[in-house]
Amino acid sequence: MTNNKTVLSWLDEMAAMTTPDEIVWIDGSEKQLEDLRAEAVSTGEMIQLNQEKLPGCYYHRTAENDVARVEDRTFICTPTEEEAGPVNNWMAPEQMYAKLKALYTGSMKGRTMYVIPYSMGPVGSPFSKIGIELTDSIYVVLNMAIMTRIGQKVLDQLGDSADFVKCLHAKKDVNPDERYIVHFPQDSTIWSINSAYGGNVLLGKKCFALRIASYLGKKEGWMAEHMLILGLENPQGEVKYICAAFPSACGKTNLAMLIPPEYLKEKGYKVWTVGDDIAWLRIGKDGRLYAINPEAGFFGVAPGTSEKTNFNALESAKKNTIFTNVAINNADNTVWWEGLDKNPPEDCTEWTGKLVNGKTYEGKLAHPNSRFTAPAINCPCISSEFENPEGVPVSAIVFGGRRAKTAPLVYQARDWQHGVFVGATMASETTAAAAGAVGVVRRDPMAMKPFVGYNMADYFAHWIEMGKKMDADKAPKIFHVNWFRQDENGNFIWPGFGDNMRVLLWILDRCEGKKDAVESPIGYLPKKEDLDVNNLDIDDATMEELLTVDKAVWLEDVENQEQYFAQFGDRLPKEIKEELETLKKNLSK
């Protein structure tokens, strides 16, 4: 399939170490993928679901010890520990290579090694990057075929170039004590062993598209961000694009596939999904920031996804989708998970493979982190710009978190530098769903804490640097939102879901200079009357509360911010320190 000497010599080296019985190149043809599906079904690796109700859909379950990304087993191996920074696990590259080579030796004996050439982003786009993943898992091949662009066309695009990310995955014996997901940014290399779960083994996803790509972006002058991309179309047919970053459990996928409330739908507003998880951003020839979604599919969390919470995500998963660790409804060989509806199937197989009677079962039928891997083209609101190799121009960047009292519903940063600070101080309060105490503030700058491929202080500096390269009048405006403000009884006071569009409309009005704002110690707040709350049961007092900045609460938060930044020492950019001092002064006035 290729004469690329770099590819072939690397493949020889990896095959000599892992000793597979056979090597199969993935050409991307539907026939080859269909043969692999049939093989996976025959060995029990996958189960074919009801082809009338869920055409092209399959089911897979992972080992009980292998159901999520493993942050404590994820490493960034840079030449020095300081380059990896305090929020990453680090080991010296030569030490890690030695440890891993011992584990990989003979790990594919008796198995087939599949060679998957893949492109992150449309093949041939100036944004796009190529990877090659070697794996002994058909499940990985079939997921990568949904999540990325694969096959011969990718090798043709690569030609003789050595510019590709080398990805090696071996299931081995799925031993959690010897499970490693390791990134060598300087070598453009990712090695994953002893896992068969999506996020640890679909190496194009967080491993390449964020950890390695964030390092490449810093080196090459672009950005890889944990952000959704949506297009908002007004009644005149104009579409403006927003990128947004949220920590987990803050409604990111729901926002990416938002359905406008009836009131705005009737006026002619629409939302288009470009991406639900990752954005790669570059400065265009015109000085504006452009974004692509490097992925070709959605790797969504199933529990909680329903017609009510995310109609478009559910529609996306109705054909050519792989379900992982959900429950199987034995009556009709379809799938079910908590939150899909209120009717758990009476006769079903829960996610570990146990037959149960749903009515009497006490536990969860689907694993809380169970997933669906669905082609993005299935999404009813997929943007017509989804495959645009030049990306879409970004008007606004939105950060957010789950805060009961601190952050108002929305505020705007004063300028790019202040916006970087707003992103760097992003935080969420733990909910009952998270392990540990409720209400603990967890800092997750730009939602990138688990995904940045180098020192986070240098990552902040790179953001500041990117701002200097853009004309101030062309740079996206930066905002912060909080859909989770609570009253004294702990009730949410903003309706959320589709009504979040009302806030996005104010954000876009601000980007176009159509609305004024009120200066506050933390940035620009909307005037109460400028947020469209027509047809909402929301009174003036509640709006006041949603837009209140409580200085005492904020001063407490600033102490927490200072503690967080202290870990970066002298590497923390002076601009971040300046913004922290400005915030303190503003709050003390």
Q: Which residues are annotated as a binding site for Mn(2+)?
A: 206, 226, 277
Contact 253, 276 (CB under 8 A): yes
484-549-421 Cα angle (round to 5): 80
Instruction: Please name the residue ranges forming H helices in 148-274.
Output: 152-158, 198-201, 213-220, 252-256, 262-267
Report the amino acid identity of residue 102.
Answer: A
Please state, in angstroms and rounded to a whole number, the distance separating the CA atoms of residues 503 and 422.
18
CA atoms in the 13 A half-sphere facing the CB of 504: 30
Please state, in angstroms and rounded to a whole number, the distance separating the CA atoms of residues 184 and 284.
29
Residue 482 DSSP SS3: coil
Please state, in angstroms and rounded to a whole number, the distance separating the CA atoms of residues 290 and 465.
16
Tokens coding 589: 């006035």
127-231-426 Cα angle (round to 5): 80
Please state, in angstroms and rounded to a whole number, the distance separating the CA atoms of residues 203 and 181.
9
534-275-240 Cα angle (round to 5): 50
Tokens coding 218: 């810093």
Please state, in angstroms and rounded to a whole number, the distance separating the CA atoms of residues 272 and 541.
33
Report the amino acid identity of residue 234.
Answer: N
372-212-6 Cα angle (round to 5): 105
Dihedral angle sign, alpha carbons of residues 378, 384, 212, 394: negative
Please state, in angstroms and rounded to a whole number, the distance separating the CA atoms of residues 91 and 102.
16
Contact 344, 361 (CB under 8 A): yes
Q: Among residues 195, 211, 39, 17, which one has the least CA distance to residue 106?
A: 17
Write out 11-65 in H/E/C secondary structure.
HHHHHHHHCCCEEEECCCCHHHHHHHHHHHHHHCCCEECCCCCCCCCEEECCCCC
Going from the C-alpha of 454 to that of each of 90, 180, 530, 553, the distances in angstroms are: 10, 18, 41, 32
Give the active site residue among 250, 348, 379, 511. 250
Tokens coding 426: 């992003």
Our answer to whether residue 250 is catalytic in this structure is yes
120-399-581 Cα angle (round to 5): 125
Contact 388, 291 (CB under 8 A): no
Tokens coding 350: 């829960």
The set of catalytic residues is: 250
